Structure 1
Amino acid sequence: MGLSYWSTHLIACYAKNNSLGETLTLGRQNITIPKRFREKLSSNHELQSAMLSGFCEPLLVKLGATSVNSLDVSDYESCDLTLDLSQPVPKEYWNRFDTVLDYGTSEHIFNFPQVLSNIFMMLKNGGAYNFCLPVTGWCDHGLYQFSPNMFTSIAASGYFDLKYLFMQGGNVQSRVYAAKGFVGLRSIELLSHKKISAWGILTKNKKATLEKELINIFQIYYLKSWEQARGNNTNLKTYTDSAHGALSSIDTGNINSLLKKYIPEKIKQMLWFYKAYRSLSFDDVNENFDSYMVQYDLQNKI
């Protein structure tokens, strides 16, 4: 659990125009940035180098948090709240926090639906669930790795709105990739020798309510399929074929159809990825963060 180079840069950019307010971290979060890479973050975000190591509370306060509490199932790292997120949280913690940070905690908890429901209950209306969770390359790190489709499907449930979604590598010299919008796919290869994580912001829908039941989520691809089967038309932007979706915009004749048939699968997958995600440098994120907000139009499913 902890804040990497890229996740620190992303939350610092987010905090420029969004108040962290009363903040809760799931687990005590360490900052895991090698010393030689701290200077760029320090100069870009006016941070003291000492804030980029150790536990994250001083950094979050500098970024605008009015208070920072940590929650864990054990007090071995001197957390503020000792709670088991696989069980419903007591009502005294409902509607209490403006921001909940989940930087590598949920993948270690078997009962993820309960974790998500607890986060929903602990957030104030409109509050932000800021996650950074493993996508691929983290075999045996935790109990789960999460498809990016998980986060778009959470938003499709109507309990949260997806504001930002980035794919980030573990390498400091790597780039990040911003999602352009909802993409519903049956499958996609995203293989790398690097560890890939999803960083994003889901905000609590002010109209949603939840007290006794768990948040129920259906995969967004099948929501679209069911709507089509009923003859309903949603505005969900979907590529329905994982192999050919990236080429759909150029399907104008037999030649293109033949090209789609014979282009190697890995090339098709790569084309899809670059259609769905925008490659960004450190400076791109720093200068234009708000422009990478996820764009979509989706009917609530509650």
Structure 2
Amino acid sequence: MGISAVMVHWFARLHKKRAFADANSIVELGPQDVMTTPAIFQSALGPMTDKAAMADLLGEMFKDGRPKPWAQQALYRHLGLQDYNSIDMFDPRANWRLDLNYPCRLPRRFSVVTNFGSSEHIFDIAQSFRTVHDLLEPGGIALFVLPAFGDIDHGFWNVHPTVYFDVAQENGYSILDFVYIDNFGVRCRLAEERPDEPFGFRDLPIKVEDCIQPNLPRTVTLQYIQNLNNPDTARLGMEFPCIVFDYCFVALRKPGEGEEQGFVFPTQGKYRAS
């Protein structure tokens, strides 16, 4: 998976929440390609960036309107994450060529760990969550963008909302942000069609409160049916193999110095947001 239009707006949302205020290093589980347009970056990041800096950023990220292979590094530097690293079994850009089915024993830890479309491709998915935990320094932030519903055969797994709440509860994480993005692919294309409009996170039909309620399966299923019959889906969704699919965007903060522990696997219980 790459950095899409909605993800860029999410980075701006996290920046406004000062999620990266004390962070300077980042490691990605898989180097992420930028997969959207310069206009999206101008729309999402422009309001918090002066014109000269924005022009420099776009110049670093794009050539003739197309993203450069290292565009993600320029984006993260712009957010204050100067020290970029990545892990991947196959991508030659990665600092470490490792199989994420197994523990990653690196010589250091990081302020931010991203898991953007990686865990669903890792057969030992539980190990991937433990790897994120082990790579984070105390007080560090884990960022997840993973499929939740409808993305059949895109990798091995979908990752349901309860995973994040239960992992957070068992490991003492605070939930900085949780967003359920229904009809993710179509919403990305709509954002690119209307780049001057802010992305309406507050207007999304499935709220975080829904994700900690026992009626979530029905809520998601009814919204899926509505999205499947939406004219925008008919116009834009056929680009994607599954037409309609949902993702969760989640930011978790690890406990600080003196409070962290080894990763604890949750046993599924009652949903409870922190």
Q: TM-score of the superposition, structure 2-length normalised?
A: 0.71
Give how far 1:65 is off.
0.4
Residues 191-270 of structure 1: matches in 2 within 5 Å?
191=221, 192=224, 193=228, 194-206=244-256, 207-210=259-262, 215-221=264-270, 236=272
Preserved CA contact (<8 Å) 2:29 2:118: yes
Q: Separation in 2 of the partners of 1:40 and 1:187?
A: 32
SS in 2 for 1:156: helix
Q: Separation in 2 of the partners of 1:69 and 1:107?
A: 21
With over 3 angstroms needed to count, the CA separation of the structure-2 counterparts of 1:68 and 1:118, relative to structure 1, is same
SS in 2 for 1:23: strand
Amino acid at match of 1:106: S
2:84 to 64, 68, 74: 68
Partner residue, 2:58: 49
**Cα-Cα RMSD:** 2.4
Matched, 1:82 2:111: no
Matched, 1:150 2:200: no
Instruction: Number of aligned residue pairs: give it.
Output: 219
Q: Separation in 2 of the partners of 1:91 and 1:115?
A: 14
With over 3 angstroms needed to count, the CA separation of the structure-2 counterparts of 1:61 and 1:35, relative to structure 1, is closer
Preserved CA contact (<8 Å) 1:152 1:182: no
More strand by share: 1
1:26 to 29, 38, 41: 29
Amino acid at match of 2:13: C
Unpaired segments ≥5 residues, structure 1: 225-235, 237-295, 298-302
Partner residue, 1:119: 132
Give how far 1:38 is off.
4.6
With over 3 angstroms needed to count, the CA separation of the structure-2 counterparts of 1:71 and 1:30, relative to structure 1, is same
With over 3 angstroms needed to count, the CA separation of the structure-2 counterparts of 1:37 and 1:14, relative to structure 1, is closer
With over 3 angstroms needed to count, the CA separation of the structure-2 counterparts of 1:146 and 1:163, relative to structure 1, is same
Give how far 1:157 is off.
1.0
1:213-255, Cα deviation, whole Å (9 max, x unpaired): x63112232xx7xxxxxxxxxxx5xxxxxxxxxxxxxxxxxxx
Q: Separation in 1 of the partners of 2:85 and 2:252?
A: 20
With over 3 angstroms needed to count, the CA separation of the structure-2 counterparts of 1:163 and 1:43, relative to structure 1, is closer
1:1-32, Cα deviation, whole Å (9 max, x unpaired): 11111111111221241324110111110111
Q: Separation in 1 of the partners of 2:149 and 2:211?
A: 19
- Overall identity of the aligned pairs, in %: 21
- Which of 1 and 2 has higher RCO (CA within 8 Å, sep 6+)? 2
Preserved CA contact (<8 Å) 2:178 2:248: yes
Q: TM-score of the superposition, structure 1-length normalised?
A: 0.65
Partner residue, 1:40: 43
Q: Separation in 2 of the partners of 1:220 and 1:66?
A: 39
Greater alpha carbon shift after TM alignment, 38-47 vs 190-199: 38-47
1:39-58, Cα deviation, whole Å (9 max, x unpaired): 42353343343437344111
Amino acid at match of 2:14: Y
Q: Separation in 2 of the partners of 1:215 and 1:15?
A: 29
Q: Separation in 2 of the partners of 1:21 and 1:110?
A: 31
Preserved CA contact (<8 Å) 1:73 1:82: yes
Amino acid at match of 1:140: D
Partner residue, 1:179: 208
Greater alpha carbon shift after TM alignment, 19-28 vs 156-165: 156-165
Preserved CA contact (<8 Å) 2:149 2:246: yes
Give how far 1:34 is off.
3.9
Matched, 1:92 2:144: no
